[in-house]
Amino acid sequence: MFKLLRPQELQLTSTIWEKMRSQAEESAPEEACGLLGGEMGAEQYRAQAIIPTTNVLHSRVRYRIEPLEQLKAFEDFEELGWELVGIYHSHPNGPDAPSPTDVAEAYYPEAVYLIWSHRTGEWNCRGFLIQDGNIDEVRLTISG
């Protein structure tokens, strides 16, 4: 029987963190999106690469990663022996948690879904596992 991983933490470098934040800010008012590759462990994941992607919907309330960019990212991760550890997008004017659409379209249950929001006047990010309609927060840690 296939068992899903349920990490408690996603480790990010300050460079990856800043690239995600900058993309969210620069893409506003549209949603930004992208992928994180790295290593998966039972208790924690470690992001080692960020691949910003195009939101083909150019929407303020939804995102869809450009399919060829997604395929190329998956190929790059596989070549390096990495997994898809995270999928990020922004909610420029929305909640700091997954929307019903995010939950319905969470097709990668082992990936951490990172959501950047701007509700407090500055960009903040939270991470979530979305598995079988259930949402669990994952701790994000940033290092050097």
If pLDDT is split at 50, 70 and 90, which confidence band does 5 have? confident
Is pLDDT above 60 for 2?
A: no
In angstroms, rounded to a whole number, what is the distance separating the alpha carbons of residues 42 and 106? 20
Distance of CA 79 to the CA centre of its chain: 20
Q: Where are the alpha helices (DSSP H) in 11-142?
A: 14-27, 67-79, 100-104
Rounding to the nearest 10 degrees, give the CA dihedral for residues 25, 123, 43, 105.
-60
Residues in the chain: 144
The pLDDT > 70 percentage for the chain reads: 98
For the stretch 44-72, pLDDT in tens is 999 999 999 999 999 999 999 999 999 99
Domains of the chain: 9-143 (3.40.140.10)
Q: Say if pTM beats, i.e. exceeds, 0.85.
A: yes
Query: Using omega within 30 degrees of 0 as the cis cutoff, is the peptide bond preceding 29 cis?
Result: yes
Q: Is 18 a catalytic residue?
A: no
From the candidates 9, 18, 31, 39, which is the catalytic residue? Answer: 31
Structure tokens, 110: 């082992």
Q: Please write the tens of the pLDDT for every residue from 83-107.
A: 999 999 999 988 999 999 999 999 9
Q: What is the pLDDT of residue 138?
A: 97
> Among 40, 140, 22, which residue's Cα sits nearest to residue 90?
22
